[in-house]
Amino acid sequence: MLVKVSNFRALQQNLFSLLDNCKTRKELFQIHAQIIVNDLCQKNYILAKLLSFCIVSGDLEHAIQAFKQIEKPSTIVWNQIIRGYARSDAPIKSIELFNQLGRVEEAEFDGFTYSFVLNACAKLGFLREGEQVHGRILCKGVCSDVFVQTNLVNMYALSGGDDGVIKARRVFDEMNEWSVVTWNAMLAGYLRRGFVDEARNFFDDMPERNVVSWTTMIASFAQNGRCKQALALFRNMWRVGVQVDGVALVAALSACAELGDLKTGSWIHSFVDKNSRFRNQPRPVSLNNALIHMYASCGLIDEAYGVFNEMKCRSVVSWTTMITGLAKQGHGEEALGVFRWMQNEGDNQVRPDERTFLGVLCACSHSGMVEEGRRYFEYMTQSYGILPMIEHYGCMVDLLSRSGQLDEAQKLIETMPMKPNYAIWGALLGGCRIYKNIQVASAVAPQLTVDLQPDQTSGYLVLLSNLYAAAKSWAEVARVRQKMVEIGVKKLPGRSWIQVDGVIHDFVAGDWTHKHASAICETVRAITSQAKLEDQLLELSEAFPDVGREMIE
């Protein structure tokens, strides 16, 4: 591979150039062999370049072996190995090496040393160690380095909880210059701690925004339930000409799924199909998963299945998303069919996880498949070693309660290894409402006021009161209402939205700000009256089949 060079300096330059243009591990091994043969193993600047390639290519083990052969590593060599460990699955080693370097008399730290070890502290959430590094930075006088300061901001934002964000902002405000990376680090710190409003104000003040800035905001707003704002940001990102990436598209599709915004979701699908970045190569699995979720959430299960069926490679998330989408749309048998397909994938089988079984149990619950639900609930532990989480118990309680197996549901709750939450009690109470079982409902009632917070109990206590009222147990109705007053229960207003001609209309119970509020309420009253009439006729038809049928007709 190497041309024989008589001049020793030229040989070193040639090796350095080869390392600079190295593309594969095979080439790296050949170059390293020449370094050893020509007795250059102690030339720090060549070894630093070698280690750098190893770190970037993910071959940390080779870098470690090469590092161990160096008798007196220079700072740049130490930096590479500290950097490598900081990027690895064992970042604690980076901090250990940093401390080891600090005990070497002639060793010197530079900005890169501090930055790499700060990255390790941030990754581990080691605030105390990060603060110690910060102290050394102040003593060393390199705190004006924008690269070091950016990593300090990132370390505090990641490691220090809410106080860490405050400290990160203090470091940020003390800086003399900022890069867009610095702004992004501070922005991510706000969002990671849930300071969404502060993040929005900070984002608006940013003098420069790149794709990371926009994507971070869109993804975080979608994850924090601010889906309309997330989509508004996505549209602004598009409007100002920032090239959207896969992460932004996935976040936007997630917001579309939450809002039921089929128009925007379909537009994103069309954009992906027409964009050369995605058209000329397989569509990312994460993007396909987001499309499946969006279509399923909007009720277009055939379109969701179309995307799923076209996928050449599927992750466990792909299978789970499809199963859950079918389940929530009432296609229980089809959902179980996809699960069986998943299990029969042979060598390409993707192992189902706890969320996959949550989708399976959800399918059983929504379709009333009691026996299948019981079997899969046991199967996931017996065959896959997956211990049921509270969500799995919730699905089973819901399934049993909907099917009238209230005693079995109650016994299952009593045997749970964890404390039941409001969803568990609510599922059981929902079954009591369907089957008008006052006895079980009365047993549930004390748990609603003991185990849950007032904001969690509001709907269930109202439901319990209505159950007692239907049974004409007026004393119990009064008792429940009094309990609601005592614990300060306030019924949270219902909220819904619908998309009409591409516009999403948001409704809150008791809110009259919509321009068509009067007409909407009048229509709702008419529908309610008709529903009550249909309900009365149905009860009558059950008691007097012939008379009821004639009246309905």
pLDDT at 368 over 60: yes
Least confident of 220-224, 408-412, 502-506: 502-506
Least confident of 54-63, 172-181, 211-220, 442-451: 442-451
Query: What pLDDT is attached to residue 213?
Result: 95
What letter represents residue 507's amino acid? F
Residue 522 domain flag: yes
Q: Of 507 and 273, which is predicted with more confidence?
A: 273
Average of per-residue pLDDT across 2-9? 54
d(CA 146, CA 5): 42
Per the document, the length of the chain is: 553
Least confident of 46-50, 359-363, 418-422, 442-446: 442-446
Span 386-400, pLDDT tens digits = 999 999 999 999 999
pLDDT at 551 over 50: no
Average of per-residue pLDDT across 348-362? 90
Site of tokens 């070890």: 117
Check the CA dihedral 183-185-190-196 and report its sign.
positive
> Residue 453, exposed/middle/buried by CB under 10 A (0-12, 13-18, 19+)?
exposed
Residue 164 domain flag: no
Highest mean pLDDT among 91-95, 322-326, 528-532: 322-326
Contact residues for 4 (Cβ-Cβ < 8 A; gap 6+): none
pLDDT at 478 over 90: no
**Vertex 363: Cα angle to 358 and 367 (nearest 5):** 150
Q: Which two tokens stand for residue 100?
A: 């080891």
Domain of residue 546 covers: 512-552
pLDDT at 401 over 90: yes
Residue 254 domain flag: yes
Contact in structure between 117 and 80 (CB atoms under 8 Å): no
Query: What pLDDT is attached to residue 552?
Result: 37
Span 185-222, pLDDT tens digits = 999 999 988 899 999 999 999 999 999 999 999 999 99
Query: What pLDDT is attached to residue 405?
Result: 93
Instruction: List, in sequence order, the alpha helices (H) in 206-261.
Output: 211-223, 227-239, 246-259
Q: Of 366 and 26, which is predicted with more confidence?
A: 366
What are all long-range contacts of 139-144, with beta carbons under 8 Å and residues at least 24 apart?
Answer: 140/109, 140/114, 142/109, 142/110, 142/111, 142/114, 144/176
Query: What pLDDT is attached to residue 161?
Result: 79
Average of per-residue pLDDT across 59-82? 87
Query: What pLDDT is attached to residue 540?
Result: 44
Q: How confident is the model at residue 5 (pLDDT cuts 50, 70, 90)?
A: very low
d(CA 177, CA 304): 48
d(CA 22, CA 83): 20
Contact residues for 395 (Cβ-Cβ < 8 A; gap 6+): 358, 361, 362, 364, 365, 373
Contact residues for 497 (Cβ-Cβ < 8 A; gap 6+): 259, 260, 504, 505, 506, 507
**The total number of structural domains that make up the chain:** 2
Residue 241 domain flag: yes
Query: What pLDDT is attached to residue 482?
Result: 79
d(CA 217, CA 9): 52
Highest mean pLDDT among 269-283, 330-344, 477-491: 330-344
Query: What pLDDT is attached to residue 321?
Result: 97
Last residue of a domain, one of 288, 312, 337: 288
d(CA 287, CA 372): 32
Residue 433 domain flag: no
pLDDT at 163 over 50: yes
Q: Of 232 and 474, which is predicted with more confidence?
A: 232
Last residue of a domain, one of 288, 310, 341: 288
Return the closest-CA partner of residue 118 out of 141, 90, 147. Answer: 147
- Considering the chain, what percentage of its residues have pLDDT values greater than 90? 47
Query: What pLDDT is attached to residue 3?
Result: 46
- For the chain, what percentages of helix, strand and coil (3-state, to nearest 5) are there? 75, 0, 25
Q: How confident is the model at residue 454 (pLDDT cuts 50, 70, 90)?
A: low
Span 309-333, pLDDT tens digits = 999 899 999 999 999 999 999 999 9
Q: Of 354 and 433, which is predicted with more confidence?
A: 354
Q: How confident is the model at residue 501 (pLDDT cuts 50, 70, 90)?
A: low
pLDDT at 546 over 50: no
Residue 271 domain flag: yes
Q: What is the dihedral of CA 298, 299, 303, 304, to 10 degrees?
A: 80
Q: Which two tokens stand for residue 506?
A: 């948001």
Residue 249 domain flag: yes
Highest mean pLDDT among 73-82, 369-378, 417-426: 369-378
Average of per-residue pLDDT across 474-490? 74
Q: Of 443 and 320, which is predicted with more confidence?
A: 320
d(CA 301, CA 332): 12
Residue 526 domain flag: yes
pLDDT at 4 over 90: no
Average of per-residue pLDDT across 468-485? 78
d(CA 407, CA 154): 53
Last residue of a domain, one of 229, 261, 288: 288
Query: What pLDDT is attached to residue 331?
Result: 95
DSSP for 426-469 reads HHHHHHHHHHT-HHHHHHHHHHHHHTS-HHHHHHHHHHHHHHHH
Q: What is the dihedral of CA 94, 100, 105, 109, to 10 degrees?
A: 10
Contact in structure between 279 and 273 (CB atoms under 8 Å): yes
Query: What pLDDT is attached to residue 386?
Result: 95
Span 100-136, pLDDT tens digits = 888 776 668 888 999 999 999 999 989 999 999 999 8
pLDDT at 494 over 70: no
Q: Average pLDDT of the chain?
A: 84
